Each structure stands twice: as structure tokens, then as C-alpha cells.
A and B are shown apart, each in its own frame.
Chain A
């Protein structure tokens, strides 16, 4: 079983829809939770990071962490065609040798005009 599970999609929604992206994890040692957005043939771009359970909002994006259920979500409000990308959840445990990210498989999102 993978440490981090993420539905790869693809997910297709109309412009203006609310998008919900989710990941579950099994390693209770994970301390930090991140969402990256990756456009085709580009590097991953950090969208949000959270440490504790609860919600964190940044513009149209809300990251939610539920450590008791080992479940994280990213909500995108008023989705735009420019949000079309692959979204990767990532989690880490900080070690003395550096932070090691464990990624989900990524969810491919298309927002249709």
C-alpha cells in the first residue's frame, strides 16, 4: 500500500465550479502537508503548505488537513481555465538529513470555459 493515495483523475469541471482535490495517507509521522500545481512540461509550483489540522485559505484556494482521519484536501473556488494543471499533494517528515517529500500520484484537472 502506498503511503500517500491520490485519485489521478482526470477531473473535468466547468469554469466557475468548486473543485475538491483529496489525498489520504497512512504514515502518522507526516508533519507538513503541501499542495503543488504543475503545468504541463513545467516544474511543480508550491500553492499551499500547512502544519496543523484545520483550514488555511489563500485567495481562491483553501487547504484542509484532518490528521485524525489522515486526510487532506485542496478546494478551488470559482475555478478558471488557467487552473487546468496537475495537482500534487506532498507530505514530509523533517529529518536531520533534510526534508523528504512523499508525493501523491497527482490529479489532472481541466477547467472548461
Chain B
């Protein structure tokens, strides 16, 4: 099973709202990722959790707050977003083997389409 699930599929929120995106995988992967994708552009990395610890933060504004409650779950908390934050938000996971010589292929979820009004 190579499935990453994301909820909700669609989200519309105002600039003063607080909402959360959720991601789940049951492949035993130990790295999880958040990406942002604008139309006709490739995904842009936002955050990486490796063994439940935040290992990469690509200088993302603080209105985006990631959380990794356990090895299967990843959340992205949203607060005071701007209209330009409207995008497809993708979650991915990878095995994250201890040996860097082993393949660490990322598998993506279907995404949450976010619209900020």
C-alpha cells in the first residue's frame, strides 16, 4: 500500500480564520513532507519531519505551523493567511532509511486545494 491520505480535499477560509490540514500514511515511513504547489508550477518544499522531528523549514512564514504528533500523522496549522497562499498543499512521505545509500523515494498524497478569501 503506497497511499498517503489528506483531508480535507478542498478548503475555503477567510484571512482571519484558523484551520488545519491533515495527512496520514500507514506505510511505516519515517519522513513526512509538506509542499505548496501553485498552478503550472512544480511543488515547493515547505517542511520536512524526519523521525518525528522538524528537520527542514524552508523559511516558511509563521502563519504556517507544522506538527507531527506521531510517525503516521502530519498536520499543517493555518492562521491569518493571505490570498496569495491559495494553492494546492501536498503531503508526501518517504521511508527515510538510516543508510543514505538506500532509496528514499517520496510518495505524494492527493493534496488539499486551499482558497483564501
> Which A residues contact B (CB, under 8 angstroms)?
8, 32, 34, 36, 41-46, 49, 51, 88, 92, 94-101, 103-106
Q: Given A43-B110, A98-B31, A98-B96 in contact, is the A49-B41 Cβ separation under 8 Å?
A: no
A100 contacts which chain B residues (CB < 8 A)? 45, 48, 56
Determine the distance from Cα of A94 to Cα of B100 in the docked complex, in whole angstroms.
Answer: 6
Contact sample, A vs B, 19 pairs, CB 8 Å cutoff: A8-B40, A32-B103, A34-B105, A36-B108, A43-B109, A43-B110, A49-B103, A94-B101, A96-B100, A97-B56, A98-B31, A98-B94, A98-B96, A99-B31, A99-B94, A99-B104, A104-B42, A105-B42, A106-B41
Contact A98 B48 (CB under 8 A): yes
- Against A, the Cβ 8 Å flags (1 = close, 0 = not) of B87-111 are 0101000101000110111111111
Q: Secondary structure at chain A's binding surface: helix, strand, loop or mixed?
A: strand
Contact A101 B41 (CB under 8 A): no
Of the candidates B31, B55, B107, which one forms a contact with A46 in the assembled complex, judged by CB atoms under 8 Å apart?
Answer: B107
Contact B42 A88 (CB under 8 A): yes
Residues of B within 8 Å of A, CB-based: how many?
A: 31
How many A-B pairs with Cβ below 8 Å?
73
| A-contacting residues, B64-117, CB 8 Å | 88, 90, 94, 96, 100-101, 103-111, 113
Contact B105 A32 (CB under 8 A): yes
Contact B45 A101 (CB under 8 A): yes
Q: Identify which of B42, B48, B100 gathers the most chain A CB atoms within 10 Å of its CB.
A: B42
Nearest chain B CB to A43 CB, angstrom units: 4
Chain A residue, CB-CB nearest to B95: A99
Determine the distance from Cα of A104 to Cα of B41 in the docked complex, in whole angstroms.
Answer: 9
Chain A residue, CB-CB nearest to B44: A103
B113 contacts which chain A residues (CB < 8 A)? 41
Of the candidates B4, B40, B41, B55, which one forms a contact with A98 in the assembled complex, judged by CB atoms under 8 Å apart?
Answer: B55
Answer whether residue B7 sits at the interface, using C-beta atoms and an 8 A cutoff: no
Q: Given A98-B31, A100-B45, A100-B56 in contact, is the A41-B88 Cβ separation under 8 Å?
A: yes
Nearest chain B CB to A95 CB, angstrom units: 8
